[in-house]
């Protein structure tokens, strides 16, 4: 019988980087040789729609070629024994492809498009391109279903609600500097066990019951998951 315990996992670009997906915050401050302001803001969309569409079309092509890694598969395996909620800052679909079933995408989804005028019109496009002239059924141009810098994070309230009910809270592959997502760790109850996994030191002072594992996700997550699964089975 499955444990009633709830594990909440906040994941960031570090987990996807190990599958070969470039991160926003590489050392040169660029994303695939573009300034973030030129491809990931609403102002960029207004000033150069073609550049923005091409940029995300390239990201989609890249996503079709990469695969989930050991960390993605391990997190999916947690569902054998726990109620698991993945809250991800990533726009890829690697958690889904690894088998996780309960996922909140805080910053949108690369494999979807939405109307640039009617936010409720969202379409599953998989790895296909969005071209100028591709419109929703109400005639407005389609845009990437991505939360750009400066835009509201619509799933944040639900994510905070879930984080506040965690028995175990894991942070995997995120620098904890992008807000509001970075604040979710502090929503976890004091009594909840917490694990932070990242090769670089994290700003995680003053958080009770926290174990910091300074290692890459693909190396650290599988043994941690094994440990948590064994706890339930014994």
The residues annotated as belonging to the active site are 107
Closest CA to 151 of 116, 182, 194: 116
In the DSSP assignment, the letter for residue 187 is G
The pairing of strands 103-105 and 108-115 is: unpaired
d(CA 205, CA 230): 29
Instruction: Put the strands of the sheet holding 103-105 in their side by side order.
Output: 103-105, 83-88, 6-11, 168-172, 193-197, 210-213
**Of the candidates 37, 31, 7, which has an alpha carbon nearest to the alpha carbon of residue 17?**
31
Widest pairwise Cα distance in the chain:
59
Alpha-carbon gap, residue 35 to 77, rounded angstroms = 37
């Amino acid at each position: 019988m499955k444990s009633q315990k709830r594990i909440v996992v906040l994941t960031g670009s570090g987990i996807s980087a190990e599958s070969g997906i470039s991160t926003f915050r590489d050392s040169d401050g660029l994303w695939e040789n573009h300034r973030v302001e030129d491809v990931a803001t609403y102002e960029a969309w207004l000033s150069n729609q073609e550049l923005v569409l091409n940029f995300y079309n390239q990201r989609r092509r890249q996503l079709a070629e990469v695969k989930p890694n050991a960390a993605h598969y391990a997190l999916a395996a947690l569902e054998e024994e726990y109620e698991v909620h993945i809250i991800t800052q990533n726009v890829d679909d690697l958690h889904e492809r690894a088998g996780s079933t309960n996922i909140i995408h805080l910053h949108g989804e690369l494999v979807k498009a939405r109307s640039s005028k009617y936010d409720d019109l969202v379409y599953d496009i998989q790895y296909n391109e969005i071209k100028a002239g591709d419109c929703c059924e109400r005639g407005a141009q389609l845009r990437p279903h991505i939360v750009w810098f400066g835009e509201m994070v619509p799933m944040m309230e639900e994510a905070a609600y879930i984080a506040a009910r965690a028995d175990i809270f894991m942070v995997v592959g995120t620098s904890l500097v992008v807000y509001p997502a970075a604040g979710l760790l502090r929503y976890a109850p004091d009594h909840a066990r917490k694990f932070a996994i990242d090769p670089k030191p994290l700003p995680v002072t003053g958080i009770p019951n926290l174990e910091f594992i300074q290692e890459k996700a693909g190396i650290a997550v599988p043994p941690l998951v094994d440990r948590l699964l064994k706890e339930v089975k014994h």
